[in-house]
Structure 1
Amino acid sequence: MSTPRPRNVTMRDIAEQLGVSIKTVSNVVNDRPNVGPLTRVRVQEAIRVLNYRPQVGAQQMRTGTSGLITLAIPSLAGTYFSELAQAFADEAQRRRRSIMLHSTAGGREEEHSVLAGFTRVLGDGVVFNPLLIGEDRLAHLGRTILPTVFIGEHVEEAGLPAGSDYVRTDNRGAAHEATAHLQALGRRRIAYLGALDSSEAQQAHSTSRLRLDGYDRALKAAGGVSPVIQTVPGWNQEGGLEAVRTLLQEHPEVDAIVCGNDDLARGALLGLRGMGIDVPGQVSVIGHDNILEAPFTSPPLTTIDPDKRNLAATVLDLLLERIGGHDGPPRVVEAPYRLVERGSTAARR
């Protein structure tokens, strides 16, 4: 004989136990001011002891909002996106909201489903980082199903649909600055490790393409320096480890490496150490993303910090304004970044 599942605690249960009205309990749950301090403490203690959890569906029917925000990102496998998701979760919690993660790793059709509001509309708004969706699809959308803020650098600003905003990241400018940093240290044979041979990478607004373009522009600005471009099997530590060995075998003259992201840079550092190449004495290495492990690599990794927490805060501010009723034209905000110099780069000896 199966044991029946315990019934969820309701606001009525708390009200009956304390001898107060359901409205009073609701006011405490929703942090409304019209409750006496002693009563508020009693209700909060009962909520804790009875492990009461508000039901999202009931809240949405009562208030018109669910308190949920969907974060649709390409994957949680990479370090950057997992840290970005945590930054959004932390910032949402400060605003008394919850983040619902949705991976679009399924590809273009999965991204189309985000624009179509999924099979069912869940949450009050969407933060969406598209990779593969065509810009013409956005331009002809007219209006997003839910209030939406796009992030990344895969969106054409002129084609933003109504009901949305865009917080862009200047990947091209950041890679240019990373390369210029190495040039200022006297490095002259600078390679780019991170080119991808894939349909995603061929798009004009793909991250890998933009960072490669920023590197190339910095070389051209210096004059007379040919690029050295190393493809990788993937933007991960294993890809960096494999690619740096090939790079140095084919181009032993390389004295600095701009990596597409920090995971690649971590793999490159490991590979260089295995080949007995001193970093930064012989080869300087710079990454991108300032992941949590960056200060703890050997040597500590110089990198571009896109300030994930600032990005999350900016995005949520815009989105909550949309959810609250703002219906102005699409807004475009450029997220700041900075170069964090650590031990993996140094002046040429």
Structure 2
Amino acid sequence: MPLDPVAPAAAVGGGGPSVRPRNVTMREVAERLGVSIKTVSNVLNERPNVGPATRERVQQAIRELNYRPQVGAQQMRTGTTGLITLAIPSLAGTYFSELAQAFADEAQRRRRSIMLHSTAAGREEEASVLSGFTRVLGDGVVFNPLQIGEDVVAGLDRTIQPTVFIGEHLEETGLPAGSDYVRTDNASAAEDATRHLLDLGRTHVVYLGALDVVEAQQAHSTSRLRLCGFHRAIAEAGLGEGVVQTVPTWTQEGGLGAVQTLMREHPETDGIVCGNDDLARGVLLGLRGLGIDVPGQVSVIGHDNILESPFTTPPLTTIDPDKQALAATVLDLLIERIGGYDGPPRVVEAPYRLVVRGSAG
């Protein structure tokens, strides 16, 4: 019979049954110090009505006894769990994995925990988020819808739990009660990226990243919004609509294949605005394979400022949507909702900036 992985060392090889360590209770912490359970609770919940000396004694006892509050007990005591569900399309993409880490970091600063929920299974899985899953998970939800229609969200009278939507797939009006929306102006960001290449003197600038899939046809999809910003900058410069190169996916592989096609069909290209940094990494690799100098012959710019962007060859110029600021804003709004705020839906715009590096300096 395999050993119980959490059995105490004294039980191993002792001939008796293994015993799981018993969880220390809040009462035991209080009795050790000769204070009330309410005092320990006040320290755990960071309430101000505890003196500094008492607070330090309680915190020391918690550390020594290795006390860990139980979620169920906390929920009965305070009505909350300290858990927030982050529902995002996938963890496979670089941007979403970094975004999840940003939320985890910001939640920890607020003494909360993030519970990840992938909606990669599709529309039905996203719909389950809006209907509260099969059961309520955590105190509130951060939700990045990708495949459900805007009409589905607009048709809700109220979200099941306090909810903050993120992403670009919603109208700013018609949000359901109990929710807020934090977005980045992707169209303006792509316009700034395109204008940067034009200001460098590039005259044959291409947008590489149009998706030929159903999701991309939504008016407020990321792909469509960034393409719209590209068209605006090109038109403003008097260059017509500009060349658009489609891709099968927003991945490094997608960028590699697309740039090979692009340079074969449009060898005059001297600037490329990529839908995201993963595409741009593939573009840089493809151009290098074709013997095309970056940025001497072709300038390249991405979007998302992922961790690998400064380490490409050459380092990638990109739009930084400030994932940490986005997460902080979202959690501030959501925690207000969890705390009882029930005002009308709020729409907040998160910041972005252009980060200039070697690929388009």
Normalization by structure 2: what TM-score?
Answer: 0.91
Specify the code of the residue in structure 2 equivalent to 1:187: R
Residue 49 of structure 1 deviates from its aligned partner by 3.2
Specify the code of the residue in structure 1 equivalent to 2:260: R
The answer to whether the aligner puts 1:58 opposite 2:64 as a matched pair is no
**Hey, what does 1:129 align to over in structure 2?**
144
Change (3 A) 1:92 1:320: same
Change (3 A) 1:332 1:35: closer
Between stretches 311-320 and 21-30, larger displacement belongs to 21-30
The answer to whether the aligner puts 1:112 opposite 2:123 as a matched pair is no
**Hey, what does 2:4 align to over in structure 1?**
none
Residue 39 of structure 1 deviates from its aligned partner by 3.9
Q: Secondary structure at the match of 1:149?
A: strand
Residue 155 of structure 1 deviates from its aligned partner by 0.5
Distance 1:186 1:67 in 2: 52
Distance 1:243 1:325 in 2: 49
Q: Deviations over 1:141-166 (max 9, x none)?
A: 10111111111110112221011111
**Hey, what does 1:159 align to over in structure 2?**
174
Q: Secondary structure at the match of 2:300?
A: strand
The answer to whether the aligner puts 1:221 opposite 2:231 as a matched pair is no
Structure 1 unaligned runs (5+)? none
Distance 1:230 1:94 in 2: 42
**Hey, what does 1:276 align to over in structure 2?**
291
Q: Secondary structure at the match of 2:163?
A: strand
Residue 20 of structure 1 deviates from its aligned partner by 4.0
**Hey, what does 1:147 align to over in structure 2?**
162
Distance 1:61 1:192 in 2: 54
Q: Secondary structure at the match of 2:358?
A: coil
Residue 18 of structure 1 deviates from its aligned partner by 4.1
Distance 2:243 2:19 in 1: 66
Specify the code of the residue in structure 2 equivalent to 1:168: R
Matched-pair identity in %: 81
Change (3 A) 1:36 1:177: closer
Q: Deviations over 1:295-338 (max 9, x none)?
A: 22111111111111111111112112212222111111112211
**Hey, what does 2:282 align to over in structure 1?**
267
Root mean square deviation, CA, Å: 1.7
Specify the code of the residue in structure 2 equivalent to 1:42: R
Distance 1:226 1:30 in 2: 57
Counterpart pick for 1:285 among 300, 303, 311: 300
Between stretches 296-305 and 3-12, larger displacement belongs to 3-12
The answer to whether the aligner puts 1:93 opposite 2:98 as a matched pair is no
Q: Secondary structure at the match of 1:87?
A: helix
Aligned length: 346
Normalization by structure 1: what TM-score?
Answer: 0.94
Q: Secondary structure at the match of 1:319?
A: helix
Residue 17 of structure 1 deviates from its aligned partner by 4.0
Structure 2 unaligned runs (5+)? 2-16
Distance 2:108 2:32 in 1: 29
